[in-house]
Amino acid sequence: MAPRIIGVIPARYGSTRLPRQALRLILGKPMIQRVFERCRTTHILNSLWVATDDERIAQAVAAMGGQG
């Protein structure tokens, strides 16, 4: 039986270097969405989660079909 591999993307809202970093738009998409989409392209992950401390990030992840 193959092991299950779960990916976890940490996403803090209150970053000290760049506040709101996960929700900042890059070419029209929030950064967290771009990271999530790139991680989904790998074929080794059985599931992918976003670990966050903020409801706004969780809502953005849920809106794109992710789990947070």
Tens of pLDDT, residues 28-65: 999 999 999 999 999 999 999 999 999 999 999 999 98
Identify the sign of the CA torsion 11, 13, 17, 22.
positive
* Phi, psi of 24, rounded to the nearest 5 degrees: -65, 140
Give the model's pLDDT for residue 67: 72
Q: Strands, E, within the chain: which ranges? A: 6-11, 25-26, 29-30, 47-52
Reading the block at residue 27, the tokens are: 């070419």
Q: How far apart are CA 56 and CA 46, in angstroms?
A: 25
Q: What is the pTM of this model?
A: 0.86
The answer on pLDDT for 15 being more than 90 is no
Euclidean distance between the first and final Cα of the chain, in Å? 27
